[in-house]
Every structure is written in structure tokens, then in C-alpha cells.
Amino acid sequence: MKNCRRIVAALLATLMLTSIAPAAHAMEEEWGKVNHVYHPNTPAETYTHAYTDVTPGAWYYDAVMTLTEGGLLGGYGGGKFGPDDSLTRAQVNILRFRLYGQNVPSDDWGFEYKPLQDKNTASRAFAAITFMWQIDRKGGTKLLTEYETALIKDAGYGLAYEISSDGILASMWGTVYDNWRAALAAGKNIEYRDSIDDFPDADTIHQWIDENYELMAAALSMSGTKEELTARCEQLLLYAYNLGMIGGVDDIGTLDPYGSLTRAQVSQMLFNVGWTYSGAISYMYG
């Protein structure tokens, strides 16, 4: 039974997100108008846009084109998307607002650190912590069956933000849960991590957190002692990995926290888990 529970828990880590070297791009994103709702991992029925650098057959094609149809991303203009370009931290912060149906603040909310003006390349760890922090703050409306509730409770707190006694899962995790249920039916079995020390590059992850916990606190308005903030960063990275938001970069599950995240990679990540539009919240409440 213990192995069964571990297998079930591991199903949440089915989405692989690899990292490649960043490519600088000076052009700015043309943010579209978010207007469509799509289910997780489901392409738009038709594509009314086209990019000269995103061609059919590319591993990220459906992800990029569906995000474009949904209005989340709009490319650089002139038919360019820049799939291999890295994302800036400012772009990651803009995305987290748009994904959850919120308007991007007109004024940067930071004091010494200005999140919407940070043009530094976003690392894999920065993006994962930023997105998971937003999700973890939401409430719950997703009803599970008694059997499914028992399974996910057995998987541990790190796999679910909140499950009440009547089996309600946090609403913002609804589309992730849909993928988890599909993976369960498919018999997926991928390793689940109980702590940062379970990663082969644990020392590197701890080093990244020690160097960047103050940055994350400033970007996400988190407060607390160093111990509390580093523990929170560890928790959010585990959430991101175990829920499949970000995977290892090799066969042994190396997290590579310093690695950059390309526009194609983040598109595939958001497409896979259903966060392709700010209207995703409507689907998850439905």
C-alpha cells in the first residue's frame, strides 16, 4: 500500500521542463487581450495567428499557438515569437498576474526592488517559486471523490494546498488535478521528492535559495526570518516539482535552479497544466 501511495503521489510530476542556454532579445512582448478558455493540454481548434519562427512540428508549436489564441502571449510583433529567448523576471511577474485574472499594477509595488522593472533573466527556480506562490494563496472549490481524497491525502501536504474534510481541493490546482487524474489512469510512475535533499543537485538548490531568498521575499512581498523564508522557498520548489510544473533536466531529476527558462519552455509548461489564459480560474471553478 505504501508503494501504491508513493506511485499515486508521483503522478503529479509528469510534465518535463528542460533548460537550454538563454538567447538575449531586446524586443518587448506584445501582450494580447485574454479572451478564450482552453482545457489543459488541449490545442485551440483553429490557429488564427502565425509566427515565422514557430513552425508546425516543433515540440512547443501547439503550446505557443494556443497561448497566442488565448491572448496570454502575443509575440514581439512582425511575426516573431522568439521561442528560444529567455524570459526576464519582469515578464514572469507580469505572467503571474495575467494567468490568474488580475490586472498588472500600473505602479511597481516594490520599494528598493522593482519587480516589474527587473530585466534580469529569470531562472527556473525563480519562475517556479513565483508561480507556485500565487497558486498556494488561493482557496478551494474542487470536489474530489472519497477515494481520490484519500489517495491525495496519503501523498502528503506537499501535494495539495488544502483539502477539507468534505474533499475539496484548492481551486487553483484544479487543472493540475485533472492531469493528475489522467496520469493515474495511464499508470504513470515518476519519482516523488519529499525534500530538497532528495534532489541530486540538492547543494546547488540550497545555495540558490541562500543567495536569492531576499529577492523572492521582495518580489512576492513575503515576510519572515531567513529560516522562514528559505523554508518557504524550499516548500514552493517541492510543490512545483511534485505537481509537474517543472521537471528535472536529465534522467536523474537534476533541478538546475540557476538554469534559464525559455519562452517555448514556459509556454509548454503553462499549456500542459491549463494555465493558458487568465480565464483559467473560470474553468477551475466550473
Reading the chain (286 residues) residue by residue, the pLDDT tens digits are 333 333 333 333 332 222 222 333 334 545 444 444 445 556 777 788 899 999 999 999 998 998 888 777 788 888 999 999 998 999 888 887 776 656 677 666 666 788 888 999 999 999 999 887 866 654 433 444 554 555 555 544 334 444 444 444 443 345 455 555 555 566 654 456 878 999 999 999 999 999 999 999 998 889 999 999 999 999 889 877 876 678 888 988 899 999 998 999 888 877 766 554 333 333 333 3
* Cβ neighbours, 10 Å, residue 32: 18
Counting beta carbons within 10 angstroms of the beta carbon of residue 226, is it exposed (0 to 12), middle (13 to 18) or buried (19 or more)?
A: exposed
CA–CA dist 36, 283 (Å, integer): 11
Contacting residues for 48 by C-beta, under 8 A, at least 6 apart: 69
Strands (E), the chain: 140-143, 168-170
Q: What is the pLDDT of residue 268?
A: 80
Counting beta carbons within 10 angstroms of the beta carbon of residue 57, is it exposed (0 to 12), middle (13 to 18) or buried (19 or more)?
A: exposed
Q: What is the pLDDT of residue 243?
A: 65
Q: Against a cut of 0.85, is the pTM above it?
A: no
Q: What is the pLDDT of residue 74?
A: 80
Q: What is the pLDDT of residue 239?
A: 76
Q: What is the pLDDT of residue 176?
A: 53
